[in-house]
Amino acid sequence: MKKRAIVAKPTHRTAAADASRVPGPLEHATFVTGATSPAQLPSEGAREIAFAGRSNAGKSSAINALARQHRLAFASRTPGRTREVNFFRLRSGGLVADLPGYGYAAVPEALKRSWQEFLWSYVTTRSALIGLVLIVDARHGPRSLDFDLLDAFMPSARPVLVLATKIDKLNVAEGRDAVARIGAGLRERFGHIGERVSVVGFSATTKRGLAEADAILRSWLE
């Protein structure tokens, strides 16, 4: 007796299933403005979440992945040359502030200092800022300038999310160890306030950590 081949029927998401999916908090974000000085910052009122990190840590890719867009945030062709704080409007009415990357050695010292003073001023004095997302390369962890930024921000009692990016460059065990090591280092440096820091292994390529980061950012905005 000839056996009949069993062919799996294709599955399709129904309209109801699509409608039931909760969009990510950064999904459908739109560009608002860029600021190169405090005078150009948007008027305060809406809740703001800042994204910061060293040049080449993967900040633009992380923002694009969270926004489910390909070219919302742009990385400069020359790392470290972006001078603006770029603001994106969220569906909730809140704002995302994409801060200039820091720590790139090829930038002239005077210019680097000027950008970093603007960045430090923003994260320490901006009253609308409700949380900080720090982008670090999972393979290296936070560097000295990352810690300088956290030293300035942590005493404010606002939450921090560390996205350990490029986690796909590590195997499962290495990625798990990298996330644990980053978390332990932050708790050691900041003591009990280090407990306010969430560390998520993240990959803009494989979307690992995307749902976890969504949940944390959504809780801040709510």
| AA letter at 80 | G
Report residues of the chain scoring pLDDT below 50: 1, 3-18, 77-81
Residue 196 pLDDT = 86
Residue 191 pLDDT = 87
Pairing of β 85-89 and β 95-98: antiparallel
Predicted TM-score (pTM) above 0.75: yes
Among 179, 185, 110, 121, smallest CA distance to 149 is for 121
From start to end of 13-165, where are the E strands?
Answer: 30-35, 48-53, 85-89, 95-98, 129-137, 160-165
Residue 55 pLDDT = 86
Per-domain boundaries in the chain: 29-39+46-221
Query: pLDDT by residue (tens digit) across 134-151?
Result: 999 999 999 998 999 999
- Strand partners of residue 74: none
| AA letter at 124 | T
Question: In CATH terms, is domain 29-39+46-221 a member of 3.30.1510.10?
Answer: no
- Strand partners of residue 34: 86
